[in-house]
Amino acid sequence: MLPNGEHSVKVVSLVSIGRHPQSGRSRRAEQDGRAVELGLKLAGDNLTVVHAGDSQEPVLRQYAGMGLNALTVLSQEADGDALPLMYDFLSQSDANVLLMGIRAESGESSGMLPYLLAEKLGWPLLSRVADIVHINQREAEVLLALPRGQRRSVTVSLPFVATIDNAAIEARQTAFGPGLRAKINLIENQKITDDTATAWQISPAKPRPKRMKVVKAKNAADRFKAATAKPAGGGGKIMKNETPAEKAQAIFDLLLEEKVIR
């Protein structure tokens, strides 16, 4: 099932410093942890795990405690831009599978990094991956996570970028001892400040008022149906056999209709 030539596929998982939703404390990020877990499944000991930031950050030891021998840190200040560092590192490496979370739990948390990185590298991007079922030197069979437990199977040619959904297998327990012993390979970089970001003013977000939840279901069967049924909105349509021009037109029409473009 897994790569026949073990070292043929070179997998890199990118990790960030997470933030616990209750305590606000640094932690192993939920999705990044899953990216490492999936990476370990695909590449085992040959997995490369990369972080851009402070090499002294204790949370890195939590990632390392998943059984990594080493961890690569691209040194960067808190106000730095991770994108150019990651691009430089990846373009010089022979990586052909790049895994990461959908968005960071701290910092800008815009979820743009995978897209910008994929664009710069010129690799296809698969978002919200639940599992990589099969991989060889040329292509991979990937399960994408759709709402309500549905999956879509796609085949993608290497190299590619994948963001890992919460539906992917949970990150294994981190062990203190191996985390402590893992080597941290520090790669010093020129300081690249994210000038746009430093000019921003940051203030805590106000919680949005929540829409009151009116439970219409009278019995358990209705509640179950409401929780599991496919969304009733019939707005979408699946286009498989149309020409690319027709597909593009449909998207364009939708964007106009939704007033995304005017």
The residues binding another protein (CB under 8 A) are 20, 22-23, 25, 27, 65-67, 172-178, 180-181
Q: Which is nearer to another protein, 152 or 183 (CB)?
A: 183
Compute the least distance from the CB of residue 176 to another protein, in Å: 4
CB of 64 to another protein, least distance (A): 11
Q: Which CB sits closer to another protein, 22 or 190?
A: 22
As beta bridge partners, residue 60 has none
Q: Which C-beta is closer to another protein: that of 29 or that of 74?
A: 29
Min dist. Cβ of residue 19 to another protein (A): 9
Tell me the C-alpha to C-alpha distance, in Å, between residue 171 and each of 21, 48, 159, 236. 17, 16, 24, 34
What dihedral angle (degrees, nearest 10) is formed by the CA atoms of 104, 109, 114, 120?
-130
Nearer Cβ to another protein (152/172):
172
Question: Can you tell me the distance from the alpha carbon of 250 to that of 256, in angstroms, rounded to the nearest whole number?
Answer: 10
Main-chain phi, psi angles of 80, to 5 degrees: -80, 170
User: What is the three-class DSSP state of 237?
Assistant: coil
Q: What is d(CA 12, CA 43) in angstroms, rounded to the nearest whole number?
A: 9
User: Which CB atom, from 29 or from 142, has the smaller least distance to another protein?
Assistant: 29
Residue 262: CB minimum distance to another protein, A: 43
Query: Least distance (Å) from another protein to the CB of residue 161?
Result: 28
Q: What's the CA gap between 251 and 28, in Å, rounded?
A: 38
